[in-house]
């Protein structure tokens, strides 16, 4: 994800984009704190190179807030609890706001009980799972985040109807001298956006990306778009997808199956998305420094493996994103000019001004 | 896994095999309780059709006990604890004994705290993850079980050296009127045993099963056997494999990397295998019956999807195994005659007698 190539890019300062995006979410009615949480999530995703979950989503989020699909002033609430195990109702807040509330509680509870389980309902698309699990890692915890995805695009194995999302999950653990190791993956081979992109550019797709509407592998992006995405790891990926739906959504009664609305196509529909956080305080298991040293050693060990021809470097999960993050928070985040221009237009309707040089063609690099 | 075809089979009564196997583990020094736990695990795996983790492993386990690699009289012990979060040292007990001890504690703690986290070290190969997660499901819990595998057979993505196992994990959740939904998967495309089998029979293998020692996909089972298994889901599967090693083994200081001994090739070596159990008591999240009804509905919904041509039925994870279990516990378990003959010979050295009709050629079906 970390190495996007854009035709026309503009490089923007991390803090300035954050302030700009925060202002937009305030303009649509969010509290400054919630607006900052939402914007922070998106800009962090961009800095990590995961642009698909960054500020390019702001127009969709804001449209939903304007049309009632998302409640900008909702306050997430603990509706049930037993020691380190709680249920949070997001009351239709931004997923980022509900999941951040849950993350804060998960850290507090794991600190007290050694581990915690936070089941979140009444939420929305939470962005990247990594955002929450890396907060666990920063608190010297191992973090798991499971979520059902916003629309049904995958068939059960052997089937042809889209009845599952490509439900993503994340797991993070901290190192001593390196960034945390973070897996953040959806359970399809690729995101559906890549198929849409291939359709736009008229490019054939690899035959393991998608099935056509008859359930057969296809290289035609159009047929793929009207079919279903293939699970990563075939029937195993299908199994993982369903289990993720169970633990994130079915567990607490959030939307599953026919109740799942399309996040993009129906801006007035309440999503009722579910998530699950499981955090483990490392100090409850072992000495934290000893653990982090083992993590460093393990990463070094894997990276030192002999490589197949043409491979310059072996990466551990999240390493490319961490590298992109370090570079882009320091030197500025490269954005496609079109995304910034679209957001500037949205800003105009919200009364949020955009620095003229951000959208000027002359700024194009 | 559930539909093995054997050349020559013998059908044995579930309870009789269990008693016979228990006797063998008692003969090698285990307490009757631990012997029963171990045998029960293996016979259940066979009944579910997961023969690779059944009694065909008894000769290896018993050899390790005789040669010091496994301690038949070890008592697992809680060595650290904070509320629902504990660390168990298996003291080199059978993995099945250590993980069963952990499962018992995980259920007790989840009942008290709504969820629990049990980190197990000093253990051995635990058999199937499903055995433990289905105990969670039977206790009206959602169960997660993570474990590092017994030997390194997978390369980090882009690498050619075997530095990871195909670390398996399991997740179960109960239904109202159906068997629990259980995912139990290793993170390779297939088990290495399938490559060994193809080598034996001189059959080509699919190109996504393994890489040769240069890191290239191969259809030659011999080249594959001297190479590495491919992760299920390519780089995503590699990521999941490493995360599993982190949460099961690196977390509590169990063996990883160069410290991982080969379970089969070195019977005197202590393994120090790590596992992680995470159980969630459903009653802490929602009404249990309401949840189970949602599970039934979800399974029905997925199974009712339209099917691709040639597919007779859509299955949910664990369903085929549950069907095999119901049939084989009722009608008897079909075993390859060779496995029973080998075990009968082992029985002779242990002073455990085998019913003559079990190994007679005339009994062959």
- Which of A175, A206, A227, A233 to mutate against chain B (most B CBs within 10 Å)? A233
Mutate to test the interface with B, among A298, A304, A319 (most CBs of B within 10 A): A298
Q: What is the 3-state secondary structure (H, E, C) of chain B?
A: CCCCCCCCEEEECHHHHHHHHHHHHHHCCCCHHHHHHHHHHHHHHHHCCCHHHCHHHHHHHHHHHHHCCCCCCCCCEEEEEECCEEEEECCCCCHHHHHHHHHHHHHHHHHHHCEEEEEEEEECCCCCCHHHHHHHHHCCEEEEEEECCCCCCECCCCECCCCECCCCEEEEECCCCCCCEEEEECCECCCHHHHHHHHHHCCCCCCCCEECCCCCECCCHHHHHCCEECECCHHHHHHHHHHHHHHHHHCCCCCCHHHCCCCCCCCCCCCCEEEEEEEEEHHHCCCHHHHHHHHHHHHHHHHCCCECCCCCCCCCCCHHHHHHHHHHHHHCEEEEHHHHHHHHHHHHHHCCCCCHHHHCHHHCC
Q: Which residues contact A8 (CB under 8 A, 6 or more apart)?
A: A336, A337, A338, A364, A365
B142 at interface of A, judged by CB pairs closer than 8 A: yes
**Residue A148 dihedral angles phi and psi, to the nearest 5°:** -80, 145
CB-CB: which of A119, A156, A240 is closest to B314? A156
What's the confidence (pLDDT) of residue B4? 55
User: Do residue B295 and residue A155 have CB atoms under 8 angstroms apart?
Assistant: no
Q: What is the pLDDT of residues A308-341, one digit of tens each?
A: 999 999 999 999 999 999 999 999 999 999 999 9
CA distances to A103, A142, A190 from A106, in Å: 5, 11, 30
Kindly provide the ipTM of the predicted complex, given to two decimals: 0.96
Please name the fold of domain A1-67+332-365. Hypothetical Oxidoreductase Yiak; Chain: A, domain 1 (1.10.1530)
Residue of B nearest to A245 (CA): B298
Q: Is A9 on the interface with B (CB under 8 A)?
A: no
The span from the CA of B213 to the CA of B229, in Å, is: 10
- pLDDT, one tens digit per residue, over B101-120 is 999 999 999 999 999 999 99
B80 in contact with chain A, both atoms CB, cutoff 8 A: yes
CA distance A186 to B147: 22
d(CA A225, CA A228): 7
Query: A361 CB contacts (<8 Å, ≥6 apart)?
Result: A337
Q: What is the residue-averaged pLDDT of chain B? A: 95
Residue B364 — very low, low, confident or very high, per pLDDT cuts 50/70/90?
very low
Give the whole-angstrom CA distance, residue B264 versus residue B267: 7
* Contact (CB, 8 A) for B308 and A215: yes
Query: Residue A297: its chain B contacts at CB < 8 A?
Result: 257
Measured in whole angstroms, how far is the alpha carbon of residue B358 from the centre of its chain?
26
User: Which of B1, B148, B156 should one mutate to test binding to chain A, selecting the residue with the greatest count of A CBs within 10 A?
Assistant: B156
B83 and chain A in contact, CB less than 8 A: yes
Pairwise CA distance, residues A206 & A204, whole Å:
7
Select the residue of A85, A158, A294 nearest B253 (Cβ to Cβ): A294
B306 touches chain A (CB under 8 A): yes
CATH of B189-230 given 3.40.605.10, 3.40.50.970, 3.30.60.50, 3.30.720.110 = 3.30.60.50
Region label for B155, one of left (φ > 0), alpha (ψ between -120 and 50) or beta (otherwise): beta
Chain B residues inside the 8 Å CB shell of A160: 305-308
Exposed, middle or buried, B248 (CB in 10 Å: 0-12/13-18/19+)?
A: buried
- CB contact B79 to A (< 8 Å): no
Model confidence at B143: pLDDT above 70: yes
| Interface contact flag, B237 A239, Cβ < 8 Å | no
- As a whole-number percent, the residues of chain B with pLDDT over 70 amount to 97
Best probe of the A interface among B102, B242, B282, by most A CBs < 10 A, is: B242
The CATH architecture that domain A75-185+236-329 belongs to is: 2-Layer Sandwich (3.30)
By C-alpha distance, the chain B residue nearest A310 is: B158
Task: Enter the tokens of residue B233.
Answer: 């889901």
B19 touches chain A (CB under 8 A): no
Q: What average pLDDT does the segment B289-293 reach?
A: 98
Cβ of residue B314 closer than 8 Å to a chain A Cβ: yes
The predicted pLDDT at position A8 comes to 87
B245 and A298 in contact by Cβ < 8 A? yes
**Which of B159, B247, B256 is opposite residue A298, by nearest beta carbon?**
B256
Nearest CB among B84, B142, B232 relative to A84 is that of: B84
Any residues with CB less than 8 A from the CB of A156 and at least 6 apart, and which? A163, A164, A238, A242, B302, B303, B305, B314, B316
* A246 Cβ neighbours under 8 A, 6+ residues apart: B142, B171, B173, B181, B295, B298
Nearest to A250 among B237, B294, B317 (CB): B294
Give B309→chain A minimum CA distance, Å: 8
Return the residue in B87, B114, B162, B248 with the most chain A beta carbons within 10 A, the one to mutate for interface testing: B114
Residues B150/B260, Cβ–Cβ less than 8 Å:
yes
- Size of the A and B interface in Cβ pairs below 8 Å: 271
**Residue A256 at interface with chain B, using a CB cutoff of 8 Å:** yes
**Is A3 touching B (CB cutoff 8 A)?**
no
Q: Where are the domains of chain A?
A: 1-67+332-365, 75-185+236-329, 189-230
Burial of B251 (0-12, 13-18, 19+ CB in 10 A): buried
- pLDDT-derived band at B362 (thresholds 50, 70, 90) equals low
Q: Establish if A145 touches chain B: CB-CB under 8 angstroms.
A: no
Residue B213 has pLDDT above 90, yes or no: yes
**Whether B308 and A211 lie within 8 Å, measured CB to CB:** yes
Contact A285 B237 (CB under 8 A): no
Arithmetic mean of pLDDT, B332-356? 96
Q: Which residues of A touch B145 (CB under 8 A)?
A: none
Contacts of residue B15, defined as CB under 8 A and 6 or more positions apart, other chains included, come to none
Say yes or no for a CB contact (<8 Å) between B113 and A284.
no
In Å, how far is B101's CA from the nearest CA of chain A? 17
Residue of B nearest to A258 (CA): B301
Calculate how close chain B gets to A267, using CA atoms only, in Å: 25
Q: Measured between CB atoms, does B190 come within 8 Å of chain A?
A: no
Chain B residues close to A129, C-beta within 8 Å:
none
User: How far is the CA of A207 from the CAs of A54, A118, A216, A226, A239, in angstroms?
Assistant: 28, 38, 9, 15, 21
**CATH fold for domain B76-187+233-285+309-320:** Ribosomal Protein S8; Chain: A, domain 1 (3.30.1370)
Q: How far is CA B55 from CA B34, B49, B334, in A?
A: 15, 12, 12
Compare CB distances from A233 to B112, B237, B257 and report the shortest one's residue: B237
Whether residue B365 has pLDDT greater than 50 = no
Q: What is the pLDDT of residue B356?
A: 94
Quick: pLDDT tens for B218-276.
999 999 999 999 999 999 999 999 999 999 999 999 999 999 988 778 889 999 999 99
What is the Cα–Cα distance from B294 to B301, expressed in whole angstroms?
10
Q: Determine the Cα angle at A267 with ends A263 and A270, to 5°.
A: 75
Label residue A247 left, alpha or beta by phi (over 0 means left) and psi (-120 to 50 means alpha).
Answer: alpha
**Low-confidence residues in chain A, pLDDT < 50:** 1-3, 363-365
């Amino acid at each position: 994800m970390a190495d996007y190539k854009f035709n026309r890019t503009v490089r923007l300062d991390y803090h300035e984009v954050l302030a700009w995006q925060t202002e937009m979410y305030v303009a649509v009615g969010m509290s400054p704190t919630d607006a900052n949480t939402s914007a922070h999530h998106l800009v962090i995703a961009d800095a990590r190179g995961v642009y698909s979950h960054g500020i390019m989503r702001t127009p969709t989020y804001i449209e939903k807030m304007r049309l009632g699909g998302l409640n900008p002033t909702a306050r997430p609430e603990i509706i049930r609890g037993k020691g380190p195990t709680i249920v949070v109702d997001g009351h239709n807040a931004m997923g980022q706001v509900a999941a951040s509330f849950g993350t804060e509680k998960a850290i507090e509870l794991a600190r007290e009980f050694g581990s915690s389980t936070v089941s979140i309902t009444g939420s929305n698309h939470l962005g990247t799972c990594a955002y929450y699990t890396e907060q666990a890692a920063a608190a010297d915890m191992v973090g798991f985040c499971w979520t059902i995805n916003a629309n049904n695009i995958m068939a059960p194995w052997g089937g042809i109807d889209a009845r599952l999302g490509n439900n993503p999950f994340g797991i993070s653990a901290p190192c001593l001298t390196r960034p945390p190791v973070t897996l953040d993956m959806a359970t399809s081979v690729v995101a559906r956006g890549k198929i849409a992109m291939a359709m736009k550019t008229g490019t054939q797709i690899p035959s393991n990306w998608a099935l056509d509407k008859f359930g057969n592998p296809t290289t035609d992006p159009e047929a793929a778009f009207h079919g279903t995405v293939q699970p990563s790891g075939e029937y195993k990926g299908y199994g993982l997808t369903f289990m993720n739906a169970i633990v994130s959504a079915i567990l607490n009664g959030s939307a599953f199956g026919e109740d799942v609305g399309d996040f993009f196509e129906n801006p007035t529909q309440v999503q009722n998305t579910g998530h699950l956080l499981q955090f483990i305080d490392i100090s409850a298991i072992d000495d934290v420094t000893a653990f982090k040293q083992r993590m460093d050693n393990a990463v070094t060990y894997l990276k030192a493996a002999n490589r197949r021809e043409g491979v310059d470097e072996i990466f551990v999960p999240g390493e490319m994103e961490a590298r992109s993050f370090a570079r882009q928070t320091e030197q500025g985040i490269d954005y496609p000019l079109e995304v910034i221009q679209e957001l500037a237009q949205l800003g105009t309707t919200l009364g949020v001004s955009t620095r003229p040089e951000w959208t000027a063609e002359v700024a194009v690099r």
